[in-house]
Amino acid sequence: MNFVKIAKRTRAISPFRVMKVLQRAGELEAAGRKIVHMEVGEPDFTTAAPIMEAARQALGNGHTHYSNAAGLPALRDAIAGFYQDRYDVIVDASRIFVTPGASGGLNLLANLLIDPDDGILMADPAYPCNRNLIRLMGGEAQLIPVDGATGFQPAVGQLEQARTANSRGLWLASPANPSGTVIGRDHLQELLDWSARYRLHTVMDEIYHGLHYVEDLPCLLELSDDGFVVNSFSKYFGMTGWRIGWLVVPESCIELTNTLAQNLFIAAPTLSQHAALAAFTPAAMEIFETRRAAFQERRDFLYQALTEIGFSIPSATEGAFYLYAAIDRFSEDSEEFCRQMLETHGVAITPGTDFGDYQAHRYVRFAFTTDMDNLRLGVDRLAAALGS
Amino acid sequence: MNFVKIAKRTRAISPFRVMKVLQRAGELEAAGRKIVHMEVGEPDFTTAAPIMEAARQALGNGHTHYSNAAGLPALRDAIAGFYQDRYDVIVDASRIFVTPGASGGLNLLANLLIDPDDGILMADPAYPCNRNLIRLMGGEAQLIPVDGATGFQPAVGQLEQARTANSRGLWLASPANPSGTVIGRDHLQELLDWSARYRLHTVMDEIYHGLHYVEDLPCLLELSDDGFVVNSFSKYFGMTGWRIGWLVVPESCIELTNTLAQNLFIAAPTLSQHAALAAFTPAAMEIFETRRAAFQERRDFLYQALTEIGFSIPSATEGAFYLYAAIDRFSEDSEEFCRQMLETHGVAITPGTDFGDYQAHRYVRFAFTTDMDNLRLGVDRLAAALGS
């Protein structure tokens, strides 16, 4: 006997393929195989010591109760201070909401901004969660096919073509997943102007900010007070398992954001918030910068090694810890290719099909979230497998 | 310039009034007033020492990375063991999903189960978040007016009357908020039979389980494998700020629940999960039982004292830490009454209007989440204010 009627919206979403890769890799490891993990979008580093110490102190102080829905005032102030220090932009702390990971923030924005049948313009490929959240709200993910020609970011001309009468928002990501490309300052200004012309809201996923290897990476808030920024302590700050991120919303949305936060999650984890306060100390920042340098070294190595093997990488990684590589020389089926690399050669990578439809079978994503020794081993295995 | 179009669904939800009470109480305290807090639905106790110690150890072991979307396997097993020990019911761990608080679980279920225009039958008064989540999904909260006549729980006859062609689910809570009443075993069986007859899904909020003062409090899982259970480490286990709870879903929904968990929150906080493992140790259980006894003492005191002052309490609290009291002798406006009690007499309580519409101006909710000294002070102030 089972008569549960499942909501239609769930048909529109899909599990992350990377999780299946991860699970299968775990099974192979349990059977004694050595697997090189280049599938996971999570820094390999343990959370930095100053943050761990702050968590220990918060435990000692018994900080185990709920915080405000918007987050600890001290943390909201610290984030505002970070915007001033790093971007030279003044953001009132009242516009900042601490969320349970960027996931909590994105879910909140989807609830806040998307009516059924609203169209949201976004790149294909992109982080799969975003289009899933849009579809959960009954909205339409209006996917812009992007490739190396535009650095895997949507160009205004493409948006102009893709826009329909029901388009309501433009969701951007910089640095982007899976390509690791960024939106330059002039391009961002152009996109914002275009979005404003059609009265669309703009959401920008900045969760990889800090982990970038170009000089200038503009934050949306430098150019506009009307957009929505999603950020996270997971990536640059290395706090994935703590489930803590933040939103910046326009002043007009503060009250509704607070109401949604109460209803959707009550508050972000209190201990994580106290710990995150230490992320803005000079000692922690020094560790983050050392790690950024390590990611950059990995990127440089991997870009060259993969190119030599015969992968084609149309846009070099400018941020985040991903390389998006075409496999035309080896296969026409990225899922089958990834399966073979894992099963036969012990290298775990993610098929492009996790990130969208456009040319998804031509591409795979490499995450350089493992150390240089492992990357070298992975590259050796790929070179042997692919015969160069 | 601002052109953000807000989703219609957000018009259907409201902030928690208790938060306004809490905020105003904080302002009065900042101005030097002593406030008796009987508004907050959060145990006053700090998290139990064995859990704190487990968190310290998890920090020492560097458990700072993501867990599976479904939660740490060890914790899912421990929860399954808890069902066997405490309820003598076998639940496969694969049906258990660790969530970021019960909030995360309820949000997931709303996404999983509710299509736009689906009707969900539930009691009025009830925890406000539930009807808000239903409305966020475009569903209709089909409110059953309940009062002392049915122990503030829906009777089958009422459901039969309220059901419409679009009814799809029955959402229950036992012990209930704000009344603290429970659904007895026979009544629960009757409700489940009725729900099955019309092929409705059944969700039961059991977040106050453990904090009950009656002999027999049935868990939905004892009677059915087809329902959905929402539970939490926040209340009985005293882990509010850790944001950790769990869902039990029917076997047929395991895969979709996992996909939704990935998309909605990636995973619950890892440190909280490791800490929660210690909640099932005998040392922790002993602390919880001591605290339960303390809540029971508070309940007994408050019930008698409020009755003597002239509040009318139609259904004595059987679980949770709330008393739902009619103020007919004092006022016809629970919001104004609560405002006065706070502003003039320094006693913070929550108006019935936070929990629904039905007779909401006749009732206020007292939370006995503060110690006996404070409760005595609160009662003295109320007695003085209300002239008995």
User: How do residues B59-104 score in pLDDT, each as one tens digit?
Assistant: 999 999 999 999 999 999 999 999 999 999 999 999 999 999 999 9
Collapsing DSSP to helix, strand or coil, B167 comes out as strand
Packed helices A49-60 and A270-277: angle between N→C axes, nearest 10 degrees = 130
Q: Closest CB to A241: pick one of B8, B65, B101.
A: B65
- Higher-scoring residue by pLDDT: A23, B87: B87
- In this structure, the strands spanning B140-145 and A350-351 are unpaired
The contacts of residue A193 (CB under 8 Å, 6+ apart) are: none
Q: A8-46+284-386, what's its fold?
A: Aspartate Aminotransferase, domain 1 (3.90.1150)
> Which DSSP string do the residues of A131-158 spell out, in sequence order?
HHHHHHTT-EEEEEE--GGGTTS--HHH
The answer to whether the beta carbons of residues B367 and B40 sit under 8 Å apart is yes
Is it true that the peptide bond before A175 is cis, omega within 30 degrees of 0? Answer: yes
Distance CA A274, CA A74 (A): 9
Q: Do A101 and B243 touch (CB under 8 A)?
A: no
Q: Which among A100, A40, A320, A89 has a CA at the least distance from the CA of A230?
A: A100
Reply yes or no on whether the pLDDT at B2 is more than 70.
Answer: no
CB contact at 8 A, B49 and B281: no
CATH 3.90.1150.10 domain range(s) in chain A: 8-46+284-386
Q: Is the pLDDT of residue A8 over 70?
A: yes
Q: How close B1 comes to chain A (CA, Å)? A: 8
A388 confidence band (pLDDT: 50, 70, 90): low
ipTM of the complex: 0.96
For chain B, what percentages of helix, strand and coil (3-state, to nearest 5) are there? Answer: 50, 15, 35
Q: CB distance B15–A258 less than 8 Å?
A: yes
Evaluate whether B324 touches B313 at the Cβ level (below 8 Å): yes
Q: Sheet of A245-248: strands edge to edge?
A: A96-99, A245-248, A228-232, A201-205, A167-173, A119-124, A140-145
Name the helix (H) or strand (E) containing B267: none
Other C-beta atoms lying within 10 Å of the C-beta of residue A225? 17
What CATH number is given for B14-41+284-386 in this structure?
Answer: 3.90.1150.10
Statement: residue A119 has pLDDT above 60? yes
User: Which pLDDT value is given to residue A184?
Assistant: 97
Place of tokens 């409700």: B191
Which has the closest alpha carbon to B325: B296, B297, B334? B334
Average pLDDT over residues B169-173: 98
> A312, A323 in Cβ contact below 8 A?
no
Q: Give CA–CA dist A241/B63, Å, rounded.
A: 8
The residue of chain A nearest to residue B23, with distances taken between CA atoms, is A68
Q: Which pLDDT tens digit goes with each residue over A146-166?
A: 999 999 999 999 999 999 999
- Do the beta carbons of residue B141 and residue B114 sit within 8 Å? no
The four Cα atoms A303, A305, A309, A314 give a dihedral, to 10 degrees, of 10
Please name the helix (run of DSSP H) or strand (run of DSSP E) that holds residue A181, with its range, or none.
Answer: none
Q: Residues spanned by CATH 3.40.640.10 within chain B? A: 49-280
Assign A123 to helix, strand or coil. strand
What is the spatial distance between Cα A68 and Cα A97, in angstroms, rounded to a whole number? Answer: 10
In chain A, how many H helices and how many E strands?
13, 12
Write out pLDDT tens, residues A24-38: 999 999 999 999 999
- Judging contacts by C-beta atoms under 8 Å, the chain A residues touching residue B267 are 241, 243
Distance separating alpha carbons of residues B55 and B273, to the nearest angstrom: 9
- To test the contact with chain A by mutation, choose from B244, B266, B369 the residue with the greatest count of A C-beta atoms within 10 A, namely B266
Question: Residue B238: its chain A contacts at CB < 8 A?
Answer: 64
For residue A14, what pLDDT is reported?
A: 85
The predicted pLDDT at position A3 comes to: 67
Average pLDDT over residues A307-331: 97
* Separation of alpha carbons A387 and A257, rounded Å: 54
Percent of chain A whose predicted confidence (pLDDT) is above 70: 99
Q: What is the DSSP letter of B135?
A: H
CATH architecture of B49-280: 3-Layer(aba) Sandwich (3.40)
Residue among A272, A221, A223 at smallest CA distance from A249: A221
Cross-strand bridge partners of residue A363: A326
Among B4, B16, B241, the residue with its CB nearest the CB of A64 is B241
What phi and psi values does residue A353 have, to the nearest 5 degrees? Answer: -65, -10
pLDDT the model gives residue A336: 97
pLDDT band at A252 (very low <50, low <70, confident <90, very high): very high
Q: What is the enclosing helix (H) or strand (E) of A173?
A: strand A167-173
Residue A205 · residue A172 · CB < 8 Å: yes
Q: Where in chain B is the domain with CATH 3.90.1150.10?
A: 14-41+284-386
CATH code for residues A64-281: 3.40.640.10
* Mean predicted confidence (pLDDT) in B224-251: 97
pTM above 0.95, yes or no: yes
Q: How many Å lie between the alpha carbon of A2 and the closest alpha carbon of chain B?
A: 6
Residue B247: enclosing H or E segment and its boundaries? Answer: strand B245-248
Q: How many residues does chain A have?
A: 388
Average model confidence (pLDDT) for chain A?
96
DSSP state of A253: G
CB atoms within 10 A of CB B91: 20
- Dist. CA B244–CA B287, nearest whole Å: 19
Q: Residue B388's pLDDT is what?
A: 60
Cβ distance of B252 and A63 shorter than 8 Å: no
Tokens of A119: 């169209």
Query: What's the CA gap between B156 and B379, in Å, rounded?
Result: 37
* Each residue's pLDDT tens digit, A82-99: 999 999 999 999 999 999
For residue B282, say if its preceding peptide bond is cis, omega within 30 degrees of 0: no
Report whether A171 contacts A129 (CB < 8 A). no
Name which of B241, B250, B252 is nearest A65 (Cβ-Cβ). Answer: B241
**What residues does A167 pair with on adjacent strands?**
A119
8 Å CB contact of A46 and B62 = yes
Does the pLDDT value for residue B15 go beyond 90? Answer: no
Joined together, the tokens standing for residue A345 give 């050669």
Q: How many CB atoms lie within 10 A of CB A347?
A: 24
Contacts A–B by Cβ distance under 8 A:
226
Q: Residue A1 pLDDT more than 70?
A: no
For CATH 3.40.640.10, the residue range(s) in chain A are 64-281
At residue B270, does pLDDT exceed 70?
yes
Q: Provide the b/e sequence for B103-135 (b: ≥16 CB within 10 Å).
A: bbbbbbbbbbbbbeebbbbbbbbbbbbbbbbbb
Query: What's residue B19's pLDDT?
Result: 85
Q: What is the mean pLDDT of residues B354-375?
A: 97
Q: Using an 8 Å CB-CB cutoff, list chain A residues near B73.
A: none
How much is the average pLDDT of B348-358?
96
Q: What is the pLDDT of residue B1?
A: 47
Contact (CB<8Å) A264/B112: no
Strands B228-232 vs B245-248: parallel, antiparallel or unpaired: antiparallel
| Rounded Cα gap, residues B279 and B49, in angstroms | 10
